[in-house]
Amino acid sequence: MDSATQERRKERIDRGIKVRTEGIYAISSWQGITYMALPTVAFVVGLLILPLVVPTMAWQRIIVIACLFALLALVFDFLTNFVGIVCLGGAFFTGVGGYISGLLNSAWGIPIIFTIPIATLGGAIICTLFLLPCLPMRGIYFAIVSLMYPLLFARVIQALNIFGGTDGLPGLSTFPNIWVELYLVLPIIILLTFGIRRLVNEDFGIVLRAIRDNDQAVKASNINITWFKTKAVLLGSAIGCFAGAYLAHLYGWMGLSLFALDFSIFPIAATVVGGGGTLVGPVIGAFILAPLSEMLRAFGPLRVVFYSLILAGLVIFSTEGLVPYLERKYHQFERWIEV
């Protein structure tokens, strides 16, 4: 180590405007209001105009897919960082949601407007019932079980040749056009991101966060933690099943790929990139990773190599994630001081 770094260190100080806009003082000036609202407005407006600025329809399609991955990432972040349930059940949710919606549509010809809500609620109940026996388990054990379920379901469908078997069922109803596809799911993402953020700061959400911090102490406080975890998983699986049902109608096809491992793994990557525990982070992470993985298609088989390298680099060099990094830059400045 050279002497210069030993005598100086970096100091982080809150920006003046951050200090001046704390609490109720935020509304005392226009600058204050702008400073407080800017990140939120940028996120909302950015999401809403994103489909308008991309060049082709193929890219708009990628944005819809990114939206669905964003929902799954949101679920992962909520369950992991706010309830302490490491849930790798993304593929389980999308599979169950997609198959319910697809079956209702192809067998009875029920229109999309009903199949997606039914799949969301029905799928959430089915997923939660399956995950219920594992809820008393902690950490990695729950993760393993939630990861195994989609494999189990896919094999059962394959082996029994039910619900279209290996080939799946084609010819499901699709959305009228790309704009409906886009602007149906984008507001839902915004609503859910801020809705969940609100929820985890309400008293109910405080109990969930307490369960993550120390479940034994919550048990000793006359609170049935399994019941609270059940409600959290129900919410998470509802969002996941919605994404699955949406996906099935997006492609007009339901098949075993709805249970693909990607739906479980991608949300983790998006959360790492965006920053866990921020809720906004995983959404942004999904909007970075989904287009990135499309762009890497140009490299053919090397795509996975580049993708892995980029992810590894992000994890090694930026462990905090994108959103916490931006938050820090926005609220604080850094300077070198003599020690």
Partner 1 sequence: MNQEVVLRAKGISKSFGGVKAVNQVSFDLFKGEILGIIGPNGSGKTTLVNIITGFVKPDEGVIFAGEKKITGLSPHQISGLGIVRTFQIPRPYPSLSAVKNLVVPLFSSRIQRTTGGKLGDRDTVALDILEEIGFERDAHAPYKPASTFSEGYLKRLELARCLALRPHTIIMDEIFSGLSVSEITAMIPIIERLQMNGITIMMVEHRVRELFQLANRVMVMNFGQKIAEDVPTEIAKSEVVKQAYLGVK
Q: How far is the CB of 85 from partner 1 (least distance, A)?
A: 16
Residue choice 5, 34, 40, 224 for contact with partner 1 (CB under 8 A)? 224
320 touches partner 1 by CB under 8 A: no
Positions in 186-205 near partner 1 (CB under 8 A): 203-204
CA–CA dist 127, 135 (Å, integer): 12
Taking contact as CB under 8 A, which single stretch among the options 3-11, 217-225, 253-261, 278-286 is the one that binds partner 1?
217-225
Check binding of 223 to partner 1 (CB under 8 A).
Answer: yes
Does 3 contact partner 1 by CB under 8 A?
no
Is residue 65 within 8 A of residue 185, CB to CB? The reply is: no
- What six digits make up the tokens of 268? 């983790």
Q: For residues 241 and 96, is the Cβ–Cβ distance under 8 A?
A: yes
Q: Which helix (H) or strand (E) holds 69?
A: helix 57-78
| Min CB(206)–partner 1 separation in Å | 5
Q: Tell me how far, at minimum, the Cβ of 83 lies from partner 1, in Å.
A: 13
Provide, for the chain, the percentages of residues in helix, strand and coil under a 3-state DSSP scheme, each rounded to the nearest 5.
Answer: 75, 5, 20
Say if residues 325 and 275 touch (Cβ distance below 8 Å): yes
Interface region with partner 1, contact rule CB under 8 A, candidates 9-17, 62-70, 139-147, 207-215: 207-215
132 interacts with partner 1 by CB under 8 A: no
The nearest distance, CB 207 to partner 1, in angstroms, is 5
* Distance set, CA 169 to CA 71, 124, 164, 320 (Å): 24, 22, 5, 42
Distance CA(331)–CA(339), nearest Å, equals: 24
- Cβ proximity to partner 1, 6 vs 222, nearer residue: 222
339 and 21 in contact (C-beta within 8 Å)? no
Chain residues that interact with partner 1, rule: CB under 8 A: 203-204, 206-207, 209-210, 212-214, 216-225
